[in-house]
């Protein structure tokens, strides 16, 4: 033990009592920025390119080809409600993040569950919408519009579904006591992903549905 | 180096002191949520004016308003809910870089297709 204490050196002794983790030293890097958080931001930045490709493909193809078009199938009041639900899930997510920052675990679980449920309602709405469109004759390969539309909104739906899995994982971790206040950043990172999914829908709702 | 000096030095080197400060309170989050809901209602309201903004007499106003509302909602969410306004500026740069790259690349693609549109249409007709 004595050797170990000696190996720490005088510089380490001077830092005794300093909350190194608070200042981003030790667990992170020289910038003081969390690697995990930076990783999520890098992922979100690159995901902009994925959705950018899908949106621009949709814009290019929506009026090309023949057959059923956006005006024939879209149900704007229904999609507006879905959009509102997803928007409100972002509000519940910020409360989940602020709950764990305060160490309020019951509220954290409540808001995580609310967020996941709102996400589930959105996905249920999307499944209903896709089913309705299919029954009206708009399959994935019906025309260029349908392929572009299903690809764009389908990819977004997959993102939302992955987000729900993350939220439920956090919920279970919290229930089993594996999500302490020290791991609040994990909830924040999942929150970033969830808000990104919401913000992408803000674009899709306007560009695809409201400006058909 | 005293403990206090070490702490200050660490803060100065890492820039960590500008993180996690001035985040909105719960009441402010509710207000922001309300604002987003109102903006969404305004967006949906345009549908009840017309379901085809391109053909309407007020097309420039309607489409311009929808795009403006979309951009405002986008900025509000990434600034306040994703904390880009309060977090380290590096995160802002990372995200905005991806966003600008995406918008730039796809505007170029769209412009290219628009420029060669006639040839593209002819090709499609041949395929069909």
Q: Report the complex ipTM.
A: 0.83
- Whether B33 and chain A come into contact, CB under 8 Å, resolves to yes
- Read off the pLDDT of residues A50-69 as tens digits, 9 standing for 90 and up: 999 999 999 888 877 778 88
Q: What is d(CA A179, CA A172) in angstroms, rounded to the nearest whole number?
A: 9
Length of chain A: 212
In chain A, where are the structural domains located?
Answer: 1-33, 34-210
Q: What is the pLDDT of residue A207?
A: 93
Residue A29's pLDDT is 65
What letters, b where the CB count within 10 A reaches 16 and e where it falls short, cover A161-190?
bebbebbbebbebbeeeebeeeebbbbbbb
Chain A closest CA to B65's CA: distance in Å?
A: 11
Between the alpha carbon of residue A40 and those of residues A36, A141, A193, B82, the distances in Å are 6, 34, 7, 12
CB-nearest partner of B36 from A14, A87, A196: A87
Considering only CB atoms, A44 lies closest to which of B77, B95, B106, namely B95
Placement of tokens 């009206």 in the chain: A136
Low-confidence residues of chain A: pLDDT under 70? 1-29
DSSP 8-state symbol, B120? H
* pLDDT given for residue A17 in this prediction: 58
Q: Give the pLDDT confidence score for residue B92 in this predicted structure.
A: 92
Mutate to test the interface with B, among A34, A41, A152, A194 (most CBs of B within 10 A): A41
DSSP 3-state of A177 = coil
Distance CA B75, CA B38 (A): 15
Interface residue B14 vs chain A (CB under 8 A): yes
What is chain B's pLDDT, residue by residue, as a tens digit (128 residues)?
A: 344 444 334 433 344 444 455 678 889 999 999 999 999 999 999 888 877 777 777 778 888 999 999 999 999 999 999 999 998 899 999 999 999 999 998 888 888 887 776 666 666 666 66
Q: Are A87 and B40 in contact (CB under 8 A)?
A: yes
Note the pLDDT of residue B119: 63
Domain A34-210 belongs to what topology?
1.20.120
């Amino acid at each position: 033990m004595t050797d170990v204490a000696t190996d720490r050196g005088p510089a380490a002794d001077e830092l005794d009592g300093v909350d190194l983790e608070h200042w981003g030293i030790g667990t992170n890097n020289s910038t003081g920025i969390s690697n995990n958080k930076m990783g999520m931001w890098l992922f979100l930045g690159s995901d902009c390119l994925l959705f950018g490709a899908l949106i621009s493909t949709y814009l290019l193809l929506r009026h090309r080809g023949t057959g059923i078009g956006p005006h024939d199938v879209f149900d704007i009041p229904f999609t507006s409600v879905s959009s509102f639900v997803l928007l409100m899930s972002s509000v519940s997510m910020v409360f989940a993040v602020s709950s764990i920052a305060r160490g309020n675990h019951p509220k954290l679980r409540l808001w995580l569950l609310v967020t996941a449920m709102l996400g589930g309602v959105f996905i249920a709405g999307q499944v209903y919408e896709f089913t309705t469109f299919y029954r009206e004759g708009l399959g994935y390969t019906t025309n260029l519009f349908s392929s572009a539309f299903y690809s764009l909104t389908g990819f977004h739906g997959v993102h939302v579904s992955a987000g729900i899995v993350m939220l439920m994982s956090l919920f279970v971790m919290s229930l089993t006591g594996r999500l302490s206040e020290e791991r609040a950043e994990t909830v924040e990172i999942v929150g970033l992903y969830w808000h990104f999914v919401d913000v992408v829908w803000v674009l899709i709702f306007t560009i695809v549905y409201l400006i058909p | 180096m005293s403990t206090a000096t070490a702490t200050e030095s660490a803060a100065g080197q890492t820039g960590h002191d500008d993180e996690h400060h001035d985040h909105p309170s719960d009441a402010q989050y509710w207000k922001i949520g309300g604002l987003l809901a109102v903006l969404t209602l305004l967006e949906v309201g345009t549908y009840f004016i017309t379901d085809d903004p391109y053909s309407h007499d007020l097309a420039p106003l309607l489409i311009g308003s929808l795009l403006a509302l979309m951009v405002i909602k986008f900025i509000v969410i990434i600034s306040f809910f994703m904390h880009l306004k309060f977090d380290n500026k590096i995160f802002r740069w990372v995200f905005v870089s991806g966003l600008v790259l995406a918008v730039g690349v796809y505007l170029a693609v769209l412009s290219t297709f628009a420029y060669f549109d006639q040839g593209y249409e002819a090709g499609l007709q041949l395929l069909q």
